[in-house]
Structure 1
Amino acid sequence: MPEVSALGAWITLAVTIAVAVVVLEGVRRLLAGRLSAKWPPVGAAARRCAAPAFTFAVVVATTAALPYQFLPDGAVAPVRQALRIATIGAATWLVLRISYALTDPALDRLTRIEGERNRRARRARTQMLLLRRISAAVITVLAVGTALFTFPAVRALGAGVLASAGVAGLVVGIAARPALGNLFAGLQLAFSDALRLDDVVVVEGEWGRVEELTLSYVVVHLWDERRLILPVSYFTEKPFENWTRRTSRVLGTVILHVDWSVPVEELRAELYRALRDNPLWDQRDWVLQVTDVLENGMVQLRALMSAPDSASAWDLRCDIREHLVGYIRDHYPQALPRLRAELPGPELAGAGTR
């Protein structure tokens, strides 16, 4: 009879796990199938949360239906402890996946916003990502602490730690000062609007775009595909250039050194024609000016043009520089850069040969 009872208990465990899995699979198919056609984010969230949800369901069903009375005497306590930790881990995994699944659609919408609203969208995206990382870190720390406190020895140790919380807090604060400094620096950057994702910055003499902003470091994607990784505290302690803090629009500059004989009015008209035909120009600002007279007998021309963002401004500058160089070479070759030198006259030349 005890053998039949043991067999029935294990069959009950298997049926309980199977029922939990089948019910959860039905809910997943409903969310990812019919409801996904009306609300696509619901289907995406169901697909992302499937693995932790199934894990949590299996662990909870096992905890509820496991026949502890048929386990060996020395195995009951370890199995209970393992199931407690597994439940905490699966619940933490599920909560994190749900939070990420709920915030990802909003982040995707913010990524697609262009134009004048892009700056505010990048600010909101940066803040949401940082808050999500902070929430995930807090949830993980709480889960680890809860799992540790399921051990009696750790609970006893925790009482002693609480009794000396002042000294322990001082020691931990001194040891974690760099990490805490980076944490507060990241929050300061995000909520003071000093730095956002996709901002164009010049750091350490390098031009690039902010690719990743975490609580401990910032990744700058440089123009030549390199990545410059800096601690977050760098941006609160040292100066840096932010080209897109107020607006994404950027003014590009093209400098030309040409001969005095260059026809400035014709070149100005050609600049406007080239800009008008170039899709990278935002059709707002442009000018061509003589900005300097150089000692080597040439003049300096500066062409200014506006673009919707820094990447477009770089390409527009290259296009216009190439066009103007070719236009001067083909139509006004006498205006190409040349060096002038004063040679000695015939009298001086003859005197030198005597």
Structure 2
Amino acid sequence: MKRMGAWWRRWLLAASMLLVSSLCLAQTQEEGGEREWYPIDSLNSGLGKAPGSVNLRTPRESMRTFRDLTDRGDFEAAAHILNLADLSPAEQRERGAELARQLAAIFQRGKSIRISNLSGRQDAAIEDPTGESPHAGEPRRDIELASLEADGDTYDIRLGRYQRDDEEPVWLIMPESVAAIPALYREYGPTAFERHIPESLKGSFGLLRIWEWIAIPLVLLAVALVGKGVYRLIEVMTRWLPSGAPSIFAKQIRGPVALIVMSLLTQALLDYVVSFSAVATTTLRVVLIAILAWGTGAVGLRLVDTMMLKMTRRLAGQIDDSKPQDDRKLLTTLYAVRRIIILVLVTAVSIYVLGQVQLFETLGLSILASASVLAVLVGVAGQAVLGNILSSFQLSLAKPIRVGDLVMFEGQWAYVEGIFYTHIRLRLWNERRLIVPVTYFASKAFENLSSKSTKEYRSLALTLHLSADIPILREKFLEFAKAEENVIEHHKLLCCVTDQIGPAQTVTCYLMTIDPLSGWAAEVSVREKLLAFIRDEHPEWWPRDVVVISHRDIARGHASGDEGNDAQ
């Protein structure tokens, strides 16, 4: 009996647990169904019955209905798309149409809603054919239409799904968003200028209103005239500035400063004077920010260029390896800073523009799906350019060469005149310029004659007869070499016989000079003086051939002469 009672108790306990689990599951499912919408007791009772043209079953149909009604000016019907639960029935009748009109203006100026991107399902469930989204297929009871800023605060405009009693659920602008309409309208509503525009010009024509097609060109023309005036004003100011770096800098920033003023002026007009539709305003703001960023970066670049020019002029006009290494290192660093400014400028403007146009949000998942293919294509197409850019930064950091270094590149003497993003500019000894891609230059072996020290050991060779007196020649060499200004370390002067072939000997003289170019000049000067000394004082030292004539050759010559006489 005890065993039977224990068995019954276990069976009852299991049955109770199963019953509780079933009740919890049923309650959970019921709550899950309630989460698909917001239950309400009444809906816009002050507005009366909604017209038959009002369709609120899906987010897409609700916003399409709101757009069509506001475009026709039927704001009383459009008020049925707003959930006016926070207002009394009397306030709903009084303010409903006005709030709908204000919201339409906010959408037109502040945020253009792409109705085709809204969900066409009644439950607004997230559709993800790829199955990668963890929330795919889940119903939603509210979605965000826009997020706008006004008076330093951020307001969200959202659609919510509501159900009254057993009626079909509908999608409405949520009460929290309705409460934010007045603040957003003060920010994005029409300005005082627009209130004086005739009603006949406020109709839509394509993406813009009629008056906007007229006002936008006039605004751009007025801004362009202001920019031209700023350009001329700076041009006049350059004549008052002292010659040199200040006037050069002012002359170079005429265009960027004019564009900056034009951008700021247009921005002020959009904020305080006139406001266009969201499409035009968004496009203009993106372009203005891009111009402002480019102009600011261009002014910074012109400043760096002016500093580089001033430094180059201070270094006697042309940079070469005879100038102090600190100055040449600074100039090389300025070139690197110039490239960094360009890189930061392009990156910042690109990120901002992409963020403003909301590229991925607009084009959707198709862009994400093709991003890898686009990256591969860009990588292949721009491989050479990217390689040159990376190589230029590598040269700037490692500094195997500096601006002003004298290098021996592919058998030619050249000074490094500039290190840019994609190429290096070399100044050849004959004042011609050699443009070399950075990757090509970095992949080739080159001799940096200015890497540690600019001084160079040079030599000159003379071919003389064996009878030449070497001590006398050595004495003259020392005399001529010590007289040269660019010859240093006189204890390293050397003159000796380095080769001998037949009756001739090769005499080589060595001298240390302060730099390769001066060394070449000293070498040719000493050679000319030695040759003049030998020509004037010891012409017998010139190499000569010795011809030995035998008696038989003499007799043969006489015989040839006699035969010639007989013939005559």
Contact map agreement 2:462 2:508 (CA 8 A) in 1: yes
Write the distance in 1 (CA, Å) between the matches of 2:428 and 2:474.
33
* Pair 1:55 & 2:259 matched: yes
State the Cα distance separating 1:326 from its structure 2 match: 1.0
RMSD: 4.4
TM normalised by structure 1 equals: 0.75
Write the distance in 1 (CA, Å) between the matches of 2:330 and 2:344.
21
Aligned to 2:435, what secondary structure does the other structure show? Answer: strand
Aligned to 1:233, what secondary structure does the other structure show? Answer: helix
* Pair 1:346 & 2:551 matched: yes
Residue in structure 2 matched with residue 208 of structure 1 by the alignment? 414
Write the distance in 1 (CA, Å) between the matches of 2:552 and 2:194.
130
Cα distance change of structure 1 residues 141 and 163 upon mapping to structure 2, 3 Å threshold: same
Q: Deviations over 1:280-330 (max 9, x none)?
A: 334556523224233242221222222222221222222122111111111
Q: Deviations over 1:3-42 (max 9, x none)?
A: 9957xx999xx89x98xx99xx89x98xx98xx99xx978
Matched letter for residue 345 of structure 1:
S
Write the distance in 1 (CA, Å) between the matches of 2:359 and 2:387.
33
Total equivalences in the alignment: 337
Matched letter for residue 550 of structure 2:
G
* Pair 1:101 & 2:303 matched: yes
Matched letter for residue 332 of structure 1:
H
Whichever of the two has the greater Rg, that structure is 2
Residue in structure 2 matched with residue 256 of structure 1 by the alignment? 462
Cα distance change of structure 1 residues 310 and 111 upon mapping to structure 2, 3 Å threshold: farther
Equivalent residue for 2:445, pick from 235, 239, 243 = 239
Matched letter for residue 58 of structure 1:
M
Task: Report the identity percentage.
Answer: 23
State the Cα distance separating 1:141 from its structure 2 match: 4.1
Alignment of 1:72-221 (within 5 A): 77-78=279-280, 81-82=283-284, 84-102=286-304, 104-105=306-307, 108-109=310-311, 112=314, 118-147=324-353, 149-151=355-357, 156-157=362-363, 161=367, 165-166=371-372, 168-221=374-427
Contact map agreement 1:281 1:306 (CA 8 A) in 2: yes
Deviates more, 1:53-62 or 1:325-334: 53-62
Aligned to 2:431, what secondary structure does the other structure show? Answer: coil
Matched letter for residue 314 of structure 1:
W
Write the distance in 2 (CA, Å) between the matches of 1:157 and 1:62.
29
More helix by share: 1
Cα distance change of structure 1 residues 132 and 2 upon mapping to structure 2, 3 Å threshold: closer
Write the distance in 1 (CA, Å) between the matches of 2:194 and 2:540.
107
Residue in structure 2 matched with residue 277 of structure 1 by the alignment? 483
Residue in structure 1 matched with residue 269 of structure 2 by the alignment? 65
State the Cα distance separating 1:129 from its structure 2 match: 0.4
Residue in structure 2 matched with residue 302 of structure 1 by the alignment? 508
* Pair 1:321 & 2:527 matched: yes
Cα distance change of structure 1 residues 219 and 337 upon mapping to structure 2, 3 Å threshold: farther
Equivalent residue for 2:431, pick from 197, 219, 225 = 225
Write the distance in 2 (CA, Å) between the matches of 1:165 and 1:319.
66
Contact map agreement 1:220 1:229 (CA 8 A) in 2: yes
Aligned to 1:253, what secondary structure does the other structure show? Answer: strand
Write the distance in 2 (CA, Å) between the matches of 1:153 and 1:316.
66
TM normalised by structure 2 equals: 0.49
Contact map agreement 1:218 1:232 (CA 8 A) in 2: yes
State the Cα distance separating 1:199 from its structure 2 match: 1.9
Contact map agreement 1:185 1:233 (CA 8 A) in 2: yes
